[in-house]
Amino acid sequence: MITIKEIAEQAGLSIGTVDRVLHGRGRVSKETEQKIKSIIKKTGYRTNIHARNLSMQTTHNFGVIMPFPRQDGGYWEILRKGIDQAEGELTSFNVHNSYFFFDKYSESSFLKAGREAIEKRMAGLLIAPVLLDACPSFVKSIPPDVPYVYVDSTIPGTNPLAAIGQDSFQSGVCGAKLMRMLVGERGGTVAVLRMLPNDFHINERVWGFSSFFSDDPSFTVHVFDVDGGADDREFAEGVKTIDSSIERCGGYFVTNAETHRVAKALNGTRNDVKRVIGYDCIEENLRLLREGSIDFIISQNTREQGYAGINTLFRHVVLKESYAAEMRMPIGIVMAENCSYYQ
Amino acid sequence: MITIKEIAEQAGLSIGTVDRVLHGRGRVSKETEQKIKSIIKKTGYRTNIHARNLSMQTTHNFGVIMPFPRQDGGYWEILRKGIDQAEGELTSFNVHNSYFFFDKYSESSFLKAGREAIEKRMAGLLIAPVLLDACPSFVKSIPPDVPYVYVDSTIPGTNPLAAIGQDSFQSGVCGAKLMRMLVGERGGTVAVLRMLPNDFHINERVWGFSSFFSDDPSFTVHVFDVDGGADDREFAEGVKTIDSSIERCGGYFVTNAETHRVAKALNGTRNDVKRVIGYDCIEENLRLLREGSIDFIISQNTREQGYAGINTLFRHVVLKESYAAEMRMPIGIVMAENCSYYQ
DNA sequence: TTGAATTGCGTTAACGTTAACGCGCTGTTG
DNA sequence: CAACAGCGCGTTAACGTTAACGCAATTCAA
């Protein structure tokens, strides 16, 4: 590997000048700049990260802007686990995360968290852009030298370093395929419980699920809206009302992590031809999966998303590497027999 | 973070002495050694990897001892992809891999590959210990200062830095669960095609599959041995003979990556109540999955195994970190609708 | 036209660790 | 008792990069 010193020798200049060119710090004539740049290109120079980090001696603070971990039935805890794991593996590089939580039902809360993160001058941001309306304006307020990465969702028209997420439509298709397998080819009626307030993800999932059955005349899909904000008793009532309004419902597709609440509500009324498929490997869902009250959980690999998000920031900020701009996470199919790997 | 210099100051000694204690290079009196060691413990000193790597200026060569990539229907190509990806992400750290391929049906070939790897004095070894009999004696010949990591399988009674693999028994259970879903509760006869020569993995898978149905009287499981070494025509004949020997076979569980050959052999005789479940996301299997000739593929996440294996060596050798000794990979359930993420 | 600012470059200390080298002291051997 | 080995320790150059500093030479403003 060629060094700055060797480049300087080849150019007949000093390392200071080479360094100035490398970092665009000016005070270099155009001819020398060109000369040095051509040598850099020819030799394929790459900076030695060890020397760099030793010299810089900086700690890298990444800001994580995400909903309160307990929201969505603890779904965001999973993301945090992946983020924390990445931080742990990168302690040698002085990487530290600061969390800026917000209430996912409050735009002002989101904007406040975002402002704080910007004020604290983070070296990079990991954002869960669940609030589609508030996000674009906030993203514009991020200083141009601060890279940001999306997890969970993405915001069109913005320019993140990377966007990490799952194909929600396709995950709905997977849910439908599994549902058809469970119910059997004879078909019947299946219900989609769309959780309110619904977001982009949830609608895509519903769409994917429905489109799978659209050319299968033996299946009928009913979509119901359920208030995810209701307390347990009220919620169970709502589910039961829906259940009794369908004559013979073969299965339920729940579009978010609240699957366990649906499964519990159905538990009394449930017979073995009533199936439940839902999302996200939160503890309660896994418990009911093992117990048999839930048949399948579709995993977004949320933990891996958090891990990959911090890793992307690390590679860009610390190692100065370029990285894939878009990462699609696999659609994980989880049942009682393989759920122990999705804690 | 405390430095060697600060330790030396606290002890009233020089950094050279501290360094000698840290590396056990002797030429230090017992009292000073104790004094320094206590300061190290008290302050929680951790060596600065950047300074270390900058000073050492070594490149780290890891040896990979694995079957020829084309064997097992190209299964080992997947492992190589993960290994190469890890190497790519670690170029900044001067990590390089050298491959030592062997014929998985020849012990002498394995031993030769192993000897070569040892002669070339690798900084660490990644081993796919598919040859259970030959492996223990080889492992004993590895110098004690060379760490080694297992992928795919493990060898009891040896002491690897880490063992990365999948719970084969449980993956068989998963296969059975999926099979029962596909065939339906009414039950019937299902066949297990155990590929010869069979190894530890394959027998575990068969066992897991069979045990799932052992308490379900509506299902009958037949286990057949098939010669994986046969050419395509001969192989297809064998499968057809088996198929015609069972009156109404509901499905086939193939215990390794040769699933595509079984699916092709069945293609003529196949009707829609004849299901195929098999292993490993090699290209041909994925193609038939999309086409509909295979219903499910169980993924060992082989690519991730290779990636994690190199990463484990890296963290231990380069970063001097301790690491989990055992990693169980998730049992991936792959169908046409989510297979695009398992290339 | 003199002082000040700017341009274009070189020099150097610092980051923390490693390992070779050197030096004084003590004990041993012929 | 001289020669020598070994012990216990300090000193120092090197690794590659960064960024502050310095210094001529030139340009610019008053």
Q: Are B287 and B95 in contact (CB under 8 A)?
A: no
CA distances from B24 to A114, B37, B39, B125 (A): 50, 11, 16, 25
**Of residues B94, B328, B337, nearest to A177 (C-beta):** B337
pLDDT tens string for chain B (343 positions)?
A: 899 999 999 999 999 999 999 999 989 999 999 999 999 999 999 999 999 999 998 889 999 999 999 998 899 999 999 999 999 989 888 899 999 999 998 999 999 999 999 999 999 999 999 998 899 999 999 999 899 999 999 998 899 999 999 999 999 999 999 999 999 888 899 999 998 777 888 999 999 999 999 989 999 999 999 988 888 899 999 999 999 888 888 899 999 999 999 999 988 664 546 899 999 999 999 999 999 999 999 999 999 999 999 999 999 998 888 777 889 999 999 999 999 998 7
Express each pLDDT in A185-238 by its tens digit: 888 999 999 987 778 889 999 999 999 999 899 999 999 999 888 888 999 999
Show the beta-strand stretches assigned E in chain A. Answer: 60-67, 95-102, 124-127, 148-152, 162-165, 188-196, 219-227, 249-254, 275-279, 296-299, 326-328, 332-334
Whether the bond between B69 and the residue before it is cis, its omega within 30 degrees of 0, is no
B11 touches strand D (CB under 7 A): no
> Can the peptide bond before residue B136 be classed as cis, meaning omega within 30 degrees of 0?
no
Please give the share of chain A, as a percent, with pLDDT higher than 90: 79
How many whole angstroms separate alpha carbon B131 and alpha carbon A141?
59
Cα(B114)–Cα(B103) distance, integer angstroms: 12
Residues around strand C, C-beta < 7 Å: A 8, 12-17, 19-20, 27-29, 31-33, 51, 54-55, 57; B 1, 3-5, 15-16, 19, 22-23, 45, 47-48, 51-52, 54-56
CA pair distance A47, A92, nearest whole angstrom = 19
Decide if pLDDT at A335 tops 80. yes
pTM of this structure: 0.90
Q: Cβ–Cβ contacts within 10 Å for residue B23, how many? A: 8
**Nucleotides of strand C under 7 angstroms from a protein beta carbon:** 7-12, 14-21
What pLDDT shows up at residue A343? 79
Are the beta carbons of A46 and B92 separated by less than 8 Å?
yes
Q: What angle do CA A181, A184, A189 make, to 5 degrees?
A: 105
Cα B310 from Cα B164, distance rounded (Å): 11
Residues of chain A positioned with their CB less than 8 A from the CB of B342: 330
List all nucleotides in chain D with at least one atom under 7 A from a protein Cβ. 7-12, 14-21
Pairing state between β B275-279 and A219-227: unpaired
Edge-to-edge strand order for the sheet containing A275-279?
A219-227, A188-196, A249-254, A275-279, A296-299, A332-334
Domains of chain A: 4-46 (1.10.260.40), 59-166+302-330 (3.40.50.2300), 168-299 (3.40.50.2300)
Distance in angstroms (rounded) separating the CA atoms of residues B213 and B171: 14
| Of A206, A211, A171, residue with least CA distance to A328 | A171
Is residue A267 pLDDT above 90, yes or no? no
Determine whether the distance from the CB of B57 to the nearest atom of strand D is below 7 Å. yes
CB A306 within 8 A of CB A273: no
Residues of B in contact with A323 (CB under 8 A): none
- Scan for tokens 């997890």, then name that residue: A151
- Tell me, what's the pLDDT at A273? 61
Residue A337 has its nearest CB partner, among B173, B182, B338, at B173
The alpha-carbon gap from A299 to the nearest alpha carbon of chain B, in Å, equals 11
Q: pLDDT value at position A319? A: 84
pLDDT in the model for residue A271: 56
Give the integer Cα–Cα distance in Å for A262 and A104. Answer: 22
